Amino acid sequence: MSIEFLVSTAVGVLSAAGIYLVLRGRTFPVVLGLAFMSYAINVFLFASGRLVINQPPIWGKDVAAYTDPLPQALVLTAIVIAFGMTALVVVLALRTYLETGTDQIDGLTDRSPTPLPPPEESAVLGPEASSSQEAGR
Amino acid sequence: MSHWLVAPVLLPALLAPLMLLFLRKRLMESRVLSIASCLSLLALAGLLMAQANDGTIQTYALGDWRAPFGIILVLDRLSALMLMVTAILALAVMIYAVVTGLDRKGWHFHPLFQFQLLGLNGAFLTGDLFNLFVFFEVLLIASYGLMLHGGGAARLKAGVQYVVVNLVGSTLFLVAVGLLYGATGTLNMAHMGQRVAQAPAGDHGLILAGGLLMIAVFALKAAVVPLHFWLPRTYGSTSAPVAALFAIMTKVGAYCILRFTTVVFGDGAGELAWAPAPYLLPAALATMLLGFIGVLGARHLRQLAAFSVIGSMGTLVSAIAVFTPESTAAALYYLPHSTLAAAALFLVADQITRRRGDFGDVLSPSPVFAGAGPLSGLFFLTAIAVVGLPPLSGFPGKLLILDAVRDAPGGWWIWGFILGTTVISLLAFARAGSVLFWKSAATTGEIKASAPVAPVASALVVAGLLASLAALTLAGGPVSAYLNATGEQIYEAGAYGGAVLGPG
């Protein structure tokens, strides 16, 4: 079995699981789905520089063939951003659950199909703003 | 190479952490610094616009790494225009947020605002696809914070959806980048354009898949049907100044569609030339129709404003999707107009809502509220601008689009949709205005509402936005001359690539 087959099925399974979970109704599976999708993308981006084994990424004296160093840098950036985003979305989902009493993505309560009454705008200081800041840093 | 080019990115990038670290609890200093930053960005945009107006395409190699190895910032007439629109809008929104005290309702409003400007300016300047992704993330992260600013359960619920949708969008962006990099071996847009032109026929499928996926991501940002579902709820539940600032966010999507298609899938791309166009036009027409029908069906003023953003995006993207110099020039006249008009509409809606107490922004008759007279005048003028009636700039904007698409394939469809949706939106705004102001005059009772904060100053901000629309109309001649030159520059074969990669 070739390494291409292995990597491509891994990307496919991860994306399929991610898409399925993202389409769920509650926030926790959705967060997991987003994480799965970002893993799938990281592997995919890595493979976009072609799969080679035992080759150096930058200059070597007696080396004829190289592996592409750029996708590796891209993946690093993507990992950092996805990590921060996951942290943000976890905090956001938690806070929404605490404020609205439901973890349904569409904000409906678990029992009745009618939406919650719109609460008054509160002047509570929003730590979510600061958490997003931390995620961005 | 002029270093001014990097300043619109550098200034907010330096100010934001500075405010975050040293001015956490000093609101006054933060406000002064923020407004000073917006003013300097306006001055910088003016300077860069004057520089770009001589027709040269300037590039700035970050770290002096030459293209296509390093990241390149590119300034042409289109980028300068977008910087200018952003700066004008940011200044108005920032003043409004300060006078109404929005920045007091939570933490870190000013740093987030600067991060937002950093992302926007960067996205308009960069010539590198992955760098564009990074700037998208910067502006999105800032927008999450701004969108949730002030708290409230309704805002949080809409916030979760907004964040999840955009995270999925970012994932798709990376898939598209990976596909295009795998097929062309470069991330620099100009270089990618050249590689696509030389690509063997076997790679066309992969390039097309990557390119169309990229356009889909941009269409998600631009709220083009069927990717518009996130917009009404997000814009309807966030605070008014933030919704007004977000008017430029959809335009980032439109700008990227225009830039990416003309540079990568331009005339030189052979079989792949203008590949996204046939998909864009029907989607844009559907967006236009759905947006303005939404305006007609809206039961809340904020919802009405949000759907009018969708409708105007449809109008804008339909003109862009024709991909001729004339239609692009017309679209670029409509772009600043629709951005500023949408911002004015959100701010007027906020002024009305604040005065109606328990009635909020529901479109139903309420007893007469304080200051209804002057506000009805502002609402009337804003509605004129959004619908596109003379004398404000919506009218010449739509007229230019109609004139430019006359001979294009599908041009008559655009005519029919623009004229039809104008009638629909005219009806919708007439009804909303008469319910809010005329029928209210006949309703007895009293409204319990706290006195509005800084009524004169906030009305002056709206008046300033409307005045800029009037100026856009009055200066129609010089503006059109600049935009026609912009259209020609965008479609001039090899101009962008030559400037970025050097001759040969």
Statement: residue B441 has pLDDT above 90: no
Taking only the tens place, the pLDDT of each residue in B130-181 is 999 999 999 999 999 999 988 788 888 888 889 999 999 999 999 999 999 9
Q: How far is A1 from chain B (nearest CA, A)?
A: 22
Residue A122 has a pLDDT of 45
Q: CA B79, B80, B82, B87 torsion: positive or negative?
A: positive
On average, the pLDDT of chain B sits at 91
Identify the DSSP state of A118.
P
Identify the DSSP state of A54.
S
Statement: residue B503 has pLDDT above 80: no
Residue B279: burial class (beta carbons within 10 Å; 0-12, 13-18, 19+): middle
Taking only the tens place, the pLDDT of each residue in B457-489 is 999 999 999 999 999 999 999 999 999 999 999
Q: If you write DSSP's letter for every residue of B223-251 in order, what string do you get? A: T-TTS-THHHHHHHHS-HHHHHHHHHHHH
Suggest the residue from A11, A48, A100, A105 to mutate for an interface test with chain B (most B CBs closer than 10 A): A48
Q: Given an 8 Å threshold on Cβ–Cβ distance, is B171 in contact with A38? A: yes
Residue B366 has a pLDDT of 83
Residue A113 has a pLDDT of 52
Statement: residue A107 has pLDDT above 80: no
Statement: residue B434 has pLDDT above 60: yes
Q: Given an 8 Å threshold on Cβ–Cβ distance, is B149 in contact with A122? A: no
Statement: residue B124 has pLDDT above 70: yes
Q: CA B70, B195, B127, B504 torsion: positive or negative?
A: positive
Q: Which of B20-29, B269-278, B379-388, B493-502 has the highest mean pLDDT?
A: B379-388
On average, the pLDDT of chain A sits at 80
Residue B417 structural domain = 276-491
Proportion of chain B above pLDDT 70, given as a percent: 99
* C-alpha span between B373 and B452 (Å, rounded): 15
* C-alpha span between B376 and B399 (Å, rounded): 27
Which residue reads 């830039």 in tokens? B259
Residue B200 lies in a domain: no
Q: Given an 8 Å threshold on Cβ–Cβ distance, is B137 in contact with A81? A: yes
Residue B144 has a pLDDT of 92
Residue B114 lies in a domain: no
Lowest average pLDDT, out of A71-80, B356-365, B431-440, goes to: B356-365
Proportion of chain B above pLDDT 90, given as a percent: 72
Question: Which residues in chain A have Cβ-Cβ distances shorter than 8 Å to B160?
Answer: 27, 89, 92-93, 96, 105
Residue B363 lies in a domain: yes
Statement: residue A9 has pLDDT above 90: yes
Q: Given an 8 Å threshold on Cβ–Cβ distance, is B152 in contact with A81? A: no
Residue B2 has a pLDDT of 81
Statement: residue A132 has pLDDT above 70: no
Closest CA to B339 of B451, B482, B468: B468
Axis crossing angle, helix B325-355 with helix B455-474, rounded to the nearest 10:
160
Residue B292 lies in a domain: yes
Which residue reads 């969708």 in tokens? B310
- Residue type present at position B235: Y
Residue B222 lies in a domain: no
Suggest the residue from B147, B157, B184 to mutate for an interface test with chain A (most A CBs closer than 10 A): B157
- Determine what percent of chain A falls in helix, strand and coil, rounding each to the nearest 5: 60, 5, 35
Q: Given an 8 Å threshold on Cβ–Cβ distance, is A77 in contact with B130? A: yes
Q: Which of A70, A96, A106 sits opposite B156 (nearest CB)?
A: A96
Q: Given an 8 Å threshold on Cβ–Cβ distance, is A74 in contact with B153? A: no
Q: CA A54, A57, A60, A66 torsion: positive or negative?
A: positive
Identify the DSSP state of B58.
E
CA distances from A73 to A11, A31, A80, B72 (A): 19, 25, 11, 17
Q: Given an 8 Å threshold on Cβ–Cβ distance, is B142 in contact with A136? A: yes
Q: Which of A50-54, A64-68, B1-5, B408-412 has the highest mean pLDDT?
A: B408-412
Question: Which residues in chain A have Cβ-Cβ distances shorter than 8 Å to B110?
Answer: none
Question: What ipTM does the predicted assembly reach?
Answer: 0.85
Report the number of distinct structural domains present in chain B: 1
What are residue B58's DSSP bridge partners? Answer: B75
* Chain A residue closest in CA terms to B110: A129
Q: How far is A100 from chain B (nearest CA, A)?
A: 6
Please compute the mean of the pLDDT values over residues B409-417 and round it to a whole number: 91
> Which tokens go with B269?
């791309």
Give the three-class secondary structure for A91: helix
Suggest the residue from A133, A134, A137 to mutate for an interface test with chain B (most B CBs closer than 10 A): A133
Residue B206, phi-psi category: left (phi > 0), alpha (psi -120 to 50), beta (remainder): alpha
Residue B432 lies in a domain: yes
Taking only the tens place, the pLDDT of each residue in B352-404 is 988 887 888 888 888 888 788 889 999 999 999 999 998 899 999 999 999 99
Identify the DSSP state of A63.
-
pLDDT band at A136 (very low <50, low <70, confident <90, very high): very low
Bond preceding residue B68 cis, omega within 30 of 0: yes
Q: Given an 8 Å threshold on Cβ–Cβ distance, is A92 in contact with B163? A: yes
Q: Given an 8 Å threshold on Cβ–Cβ distance, is A44 in contact with B163? A: no
Residue B20 lies in a domain: no
Residue B19 lies in a domain: no
